[in-house]
């Protein structure tokens, strides 16, 4: 697979559309190119994916799954994690708009990996318990 196919852009006259002439991971208006890493056995596969300001996490996961030809998993089984520094990582929330959820950086490195956090329970099964309770006005207690 060609990992640079998403890095090309249509340039104005006199500019090359070669991916080496443009930083590949900058925001370009209402979209950006992210570098997605898929850890497989003892190696890491990388692909560039365009993300628009309309795409939610699931949409980007599906795009990455197609690009990497991932089989045997559902999008719900996977998560996106942005690598900020060697020690800092940002998990992109399941319901986030990825374009806006990404921490602005010169290079967007995102790992597609198996979901590592406990799955959230549906709203009906969640407890309504809150850490902070307020007294209702007029209540005796």
d(CA 2, CA 4): 6
Q: What are phi and psi of 97, to 5 degrees?
A: -85, 110
**Structure-token match 């997605």, residue found:** 36
Stretches where the chain sits below pLDDT 50 are 1-22, 24, 123-135
Query: What residues form DSSP beta bridges with 112?
Result: 80
Question: Phi-psi category of 41—alpha, beta or left, where left has phi over 0 and alpha has psi -120 to 50?
Answer: left
**So what's the pLDDT on residue 36?**
96
| E strand or H helix at 32 | strand 31-40
Three-state DSSP at 114 gives strand
Angle at 89 between CA 74 and CA 123, to 5 degrees: 50
Residue 141 is predicted with a pLDDT of 53
Q: 5: which residues sit within 8 A by CB, 6+ positions away?
A: 48
Q: Give the pTM.
A: 0.66
- Cα–chain-centroid distance for residue 38? 12
Rounded distance between C-alpha atoms, residue 8 and residue 75, angstroms:
27
Encode pLDDT of 87-120 as tens digits: 999 999 999 999 999 998 888 999 999 987 666 5
pLDDT at residue 68, as a whole number: 95
In this predicted structure, what is the pLDDT of residue 10?
35
Give residue 108's pLDDT. Answer: 93
In this prediction, residue 41 carries a pLDDT of: 85
């Amino acid at each position: 697979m060609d990992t640079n196919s998403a890095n090309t852009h249509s340039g104005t006259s006199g500019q090359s559309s070669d991916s080496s002439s443009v930083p590949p991971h900058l925001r370009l208006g209402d979209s950006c190119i992210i570098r997605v890493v898929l850890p497989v056995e003892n190696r890491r596969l990388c692909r560039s994916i365009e993300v628009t300001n309309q795409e939610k996490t699931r949409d980007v996961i599906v795009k990455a799954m197609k690009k990497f030809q991932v089989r045997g998993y559902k999008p719900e089984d996977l998560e996106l994690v942005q690598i900020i520094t060697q020690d800092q990582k940002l998990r992109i929330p399941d319901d986030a708009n990825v374009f806006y959820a990404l921490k602005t950086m010169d290079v967007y490195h995102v790992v597609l990996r198996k979901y590592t956090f406990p799955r959230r329970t549906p709203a009906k099964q969640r407890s309504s318990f809150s850490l902070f309770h307020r007294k209702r006005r007029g209540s005796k207690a």
